Amino acid sequence: MDNSKDCSMYTEHIESGKRKVTLNLTVNGRQVVRDVDPSMTLLHFLRDNLKLFGTKEACGEGECGACTIIMDGNAVTSCIILAVEAEGAQITTVEGLAKDGKLSILQEEYIKADALQCGFCTPGFLMSTRALLDHNPNPTDEEITEALSGNLCRCTGYLPILNAVKSTVERERKELDR
């Protein structure tokens, strides 16, 4: 991740006695401008400010991957990133996966492979998978396992998830060939 951003690029001001920073970013293709508390996490920004409740918190310390989103092409755990770090970023959340009223291949394959049970970890898995396949459209089983081993799931035993990712790879490849 790009850590080179310095404080001077944020415009800080005081609003009702509280420090606020004006934040510009793109979320699921939509331009967003909001005043935020500089100590707010990106996860809370997405949920509390933008009301995008698909992204979940399950540990709050970057250990479980439930809050994974894609920021500038990389899968990141939004619970340990400050909202202000996303200044100027392109963000995709689970709500941004389906396009034009149609589920993405990835979502369809998760359903077909029964890669979810309670569903609480599912948005995080979908985003980690998306980021992996965007970087590496033909991952090996080991690469998939490596990329998804930061996401915890207590229900599925992971095998259906692995199957879903593999069938997504196949279908996306066919789609590209067409």
Partner 1 sequence: MDEKKYQSKYSRVGQRYDRKDAREKVTGQAVYTYDLELPGMLHARCLLSPYARARIVSIDTSKAKALPGVRAVLTGEDSDILVGLYMQDKRVLSKGETRYQGDVVAAVAAEDEETAERAISLLEVVYEPLVPVHDIDEALEGKILVHEDINDLKHYEGVFFPQKDSNIASWNKSKKGDLDKAFDESDLVVENEFSLPAVAHVPMETHVAIVQADPFSNKIKIWSSAQSPFTIRQIMADSFGISESDVEVHIPYVGGGFGGKAGIHLEPLATLLSKAAGGLPVKVRATREQEFNQLPTRAGMRGRIKTGVTKDGKLTGIKAVYDWDSGAYADYAVNVGKTAVYSGLGPYAVDNASIDSKTIYTNKVFSTAYRGFGHLETHWTIERQMDILSQKLGIDPYEFRMKNLLEPGFETMSGEVITESSGSPKDCLTAVVKEIGWTGRKTEEERQREWKTGKVRGKGFAMLQKAPAMPANTASSVIMQMNGDGHVKLMIGAVDFGQGAITALAQIAAQELDIPIEHIEISAEIDTRSSPYDWNTVASKLIFMAGNAVIKASREMLRKMKEVAAQALRTEPENLMHANGEVYHRHNPGRRLSYKDIALGYMYPNGTGIGGPLISSGSSIADGLTNLHPETGQGNPAAVWTFGAHAVEIEVDVETGYIEVLKVASAFDIGQVINEKLVFGQICGGVLQGLGSALLEGYKFNKDVQLLNPSFTDNKIPTMKDMPVEIVPIYIENPQLNGPYGARGVGEHPMISIPSAIGNAVYDALGINFHVLPLSPEAIALGIASGKKSILCTDVDCLPGLH
Tokens at 60, concatenated: 């709050």
Q: Which of 10, 34, 35, 54 binds partner 1 (CB under 8 A)?
A: 54
Residue 65 zone, left/alpha/beta (φ > 0; ψ -120 to 50; rest): left
Residue 59: CB minimum distance to partner 1, A: 4
Q: What mask of x and - would describe binding to partner 1 in positions 126 to 155, judged by CB under 8 A?
A: x-----------------xxx-xxxxxxxx
Report DSSP state, residue 177: H
Q: Which of 55, 68, 92, 129 binds partner 1 (CB under 8 A)?
A: 55
Q: Is 49 an interacting residue with respect to partner 1 (CB under 8 A)?
A: no
Q: Is 29 an interacting residue with respect to partner 1 (CB under 8 A)?
A: no
- Interatomic CA distance for residues 74 and 5, integer angstroms: 17
Residue 89: CB minimum distance to partner 1, A: 19
Q: Checking DSSP bridges between strand 68-71 and strand 74-77, what pairing results, if any?
A: antiparallel
3-state class (DSSP) for residue 100: coil
3-state class (DSSP) for residue 32: strand
Q: Which of 60, 85, 90, 172 binds partner 1 (CB under 8 A)?
A: 60
Give residues 87-116 in contact with partner 1 (rule: CB under 8 A). 93-95, 97-98, 103, 107, 110-112, 114, 116
- Interatomic CA distance for residues 122 and 37, integer angstroms: 28
Please state at what angle helix 159-177 crosses helix 105-112, rounded to 10 degrees. 140
Q: Is 80 an interacting residue with respect to partner 1 (CB under 8 A)?
A: no
Q: Which of 2, 19, 29, 53 binds partner 1 (CB under 8 A)?
A: 53
Q: Is 77 an interacting residue with respect to partner 1 (CB under 8 A)?
A: no
Within 10 angstroms of residue 59's Cβ, the number of other Cβ atoms is 14
Question: Which positions lie near partner 1, rule CB under 8 A?
Answer: 52-61, 63-64, 66, 93-95, 97-98, 103, 107, 110-112, 114, 116-123, 126, 144-146, 148-162
